[in-house]
A and B are shown apart, each in its own frame.
Chain A
Amino acid sequence: MSTYAATSWTLAAMVAAFVLSSWRFKSPELSMVVTALVGALVAGLGFPAHLFVEGTFTFLDLAFIFITACIFMNAYSEVGAMNALVRALVVRLHRRKWLLLMVLALLMLIPGALTGAGVVSVLVVGGLVAAVLRLMGLAEDRVAAFVFMLGILSAVAPPINVWAMLMAAGANMPYVGFDLVLLVPVLIIAAFTVLYLGWGAVPQSKEAILAGLPPLSPKMTWWRAAVPLAVLLALALGAKYAAFTLPTIGFPLMFLICAATTVAIDPVRRPVKRWLEVVNQTVEQVFPLVATMVSVGVLVNILAATGVRGLIAISFVALPIIGIYATSLFVCPLAQGSLGFGSAVILGTPLIFVFNAVGANVTVVAAAFSMLFALGDCLPPSRIVGRTAIETVGYKGSYGSFLKATAVPWLVMGIVALAMLIVPGRAAFLVRY
């Protein structure tokens, strides 16, 4: 049997296994692992214990980030700091709805822009932003859509865009000149998202909002509440701008330092037992995301081992340019959904060379692809930012209804990215070294 036939057969079996197991188990994590095992079996790899165990490590660092960031944010809510900040924002900006929404959008953009991870934005400020959006009259599905869209935009925003960095590294391009060509489209799409999702929302009166919020904890002032976030900002800025004088702390430890800071600023000294409860609750709450990371890693490893990854990649990059234009908006997000940042390495880097060969400005092309990959963070099997967003804002509707609310800004972002891909010369003036 040719490699094409064998890998196509394996792919078909994996798709069928995913559909069946999703229906049977109602657990996307378990379905991914079952799909991987079926793929290995059909491809003649037997029970791939080595690939299974190795695969669980693929996104381990992300799992650490999820757990520690959530511990920080739950501690932050526990001490009433989140409530204090929400109150401060409402009191100061209640009358200026659009200004408030823009401020919230910018607040969402900062953590992801500094760290390259949209999930960090969602986890760190998503809950706060969601609380204010709700009070400003946005429907629940729109709140989730807002947090998700700004989350993925924050990952695209400069200075750190991991997809562009990976593509640049693969193509031996320096990661320079990306700032404006990323920032301008991100701001345009963010402004559109704010206008689209905020349109028609009618805020309650300030008094009604404040009355509806939990009472302010004694001695919890807005500046006290700002301390842990300031620590996080300082650590992130230090890691980037004082990298030669500070040791590498890594995200998980940064979040734990911020969690410890939160405990320190707590005006009510809670017993250790209460904090242990918070940690246990957090682990249970964040587990689906952690399990997704572990499971999708197994799936990715089996996709590579069986050659299905290669089949998908070659089928896409071997298309004529016009075919790439026509399918990018589907293939790139789907690749992100299954491969995470690996999509930039597997599809992005070869595509940079394809576009380079036709004389396109590769910095603009890489920026455009990074936007297309980011769109996939709400798609299966991993749905990382999408799931994090609905978990963080506590959205109770179906995942489909969340996607429906996201559809228009998602498409606008896709169209902007496609336009940059098709006529990269028009955006080349934004490439500044």
Chain B
Amino acid sequence: MTEAAVAVERLEKTLGKNKVLRGISFSAQPGEIFGLLGPNGAGKTTTLRIICTLLSPDNGTVKVLGFDTRTAPQEVRKRVGVVTADIGVYPRLTARENISYFAQLSGVPHGELKRRVDGVIERLDVGSFADQRAESLSSGQKQKLAIARAIVHDPQVLMFDEPTSNLDVLASRDVREFMVESKRRGKCVIFSTHVMHDAERLCDRITILHQGQVVASGSTAEVRGARRDLEDAFLELVGEVSRPSPGLPPKGGG
């Protein structure tokens, strides 16, 4: 097997008084869509924030394409693109200006800037509203813009944190298609969601988090096992952990 695009080892994190992550481990490979599943508060967003260096781990290690998030955060950031449900864009800049700004901050060379920006505008079909101010865009258009700015520096690892939760059916489909296309291009796509239907359709492998712990990991088929679908498997796994058990910690947030 090639070197993992993302390797998480015994990751622990406490936010405030909540122990959000309790020693989770997993790895994601180039050219696959890796699902990070779990109910709200399972620790998915915290895990993604640690991978992209916004938060630092208390214990354990995270490596992105061989770069440790603790010792080489800027190298990691150059190789990661993140799309979240909170589509924050600069409202008084045009879509093109938004993309260009992030391209420059991500280190895209000046000589390549126009080509890169035009490239993502074409790839994501942003051309029709590229020169409109972001404040006038629809949610779906803003999400396309958010994806465009996240990929303009051509990162090897793409992370999607509940990317479709605020979108309508058509916009959600566009995002899913983009993830599949990125996988075909050899990118490592990490998809965090609690929508089991999406995960089952898109993901090659998944890890299910619950209360800051990994409760299942493997290919989608392996995790589903003999159950009817992934949702049944998820409910069964999460339900088992939620039941009082002497070996498990109390339910925590994250």
Q: Is chain B found bound to chain A in the same assembly?
A: no
